C-alpha cells in the first residue's frame, strides 16, 4: 500500500509548528492494512482507513478515535499522494475543527 509508513506532519492550516510538536514530533503512521496512529500537539488517535478511488485518482480515507487534551475525540480525514514521499490531506474533528495538513515520509513499512 502506497500510504504505509511513518509521515512527519510538516504543517497544518489551523495550528503552528510550536503546537504541532508540543509533546512529540507530529506524525501519522499507517501500516499495510490501513490501521495506524497519529499525534500532533495534544491530539492523538488511532486510524482505520482504506485507499478509495475518486474519479481519476485515489486517496487514503480514514476515521479516527482518540483524545484531545485528555478528552475523548474522534473524526475523519484523508491523505492524497503528491509524490511518493509527500502527501496533502485533511483531518476533521466530529462536529468541530477541520484542518489541512502536509506531511513528508520518514520511513516505509
CATH number for position 21: 2.40.128.20
Using an 8 Å Cβ cutoff, are 8 and 103 in contact? yes
CB atoms within 10 A of CB 105: 17
Phi, psi at 25, each rounded to 5°: -65, 120
What's the domain range around 10? 5-107
How many domains does one find in the chain?
A: 1
Q: Which of 11, 14, 7, 17 is nearest to 99 (CA)?
A: 14
Which pLDDT band, with edges at 50, 70 and 90, does 1 fall under? confident
How much is the average pLDDT of 96-102?
96
The helix (run of H) or strand (run of E) holding residue 19 is helix 17-20
pLDDT digits (tens, 9 = 90+) for 13-66: 999 999 999 999 999 999 999 999 999 999 999 999 999 998 888 999 999 999
Amino acid at each position: 500500500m502506497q500510504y504505509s509508513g511513518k509521515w512527519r506532519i510538516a504543517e497544518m492550516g489551523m495550528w503552528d509548528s510550536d503546537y504541532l510538536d508540543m509533546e512529540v514530533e507530529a506524525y501519522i503512521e499507517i501500516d499495510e492494512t490501513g490501521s495506524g496512529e497519529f499525534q500532533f500537539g495534544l491530539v492523538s488517535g488511532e486510524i482505520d482507513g482504506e485507499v478509495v478511488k475518486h474519479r481519476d485518482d485515489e486517496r487514503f480515507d480514514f476515521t479516527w478515535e482518540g483524545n484531545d487534551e485528555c478528552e475523548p475525540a474522534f473524526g475523519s480525514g484523508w491523505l492524497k499522494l503528491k509524490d511518493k514521499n509527500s502527501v496533502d490531506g485533511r483531518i476533521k474533528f466530529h462536529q468541530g475543527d477541520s484542518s489541512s495538513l502536509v506531511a513528508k515520509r520518514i520511513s516505509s513499512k
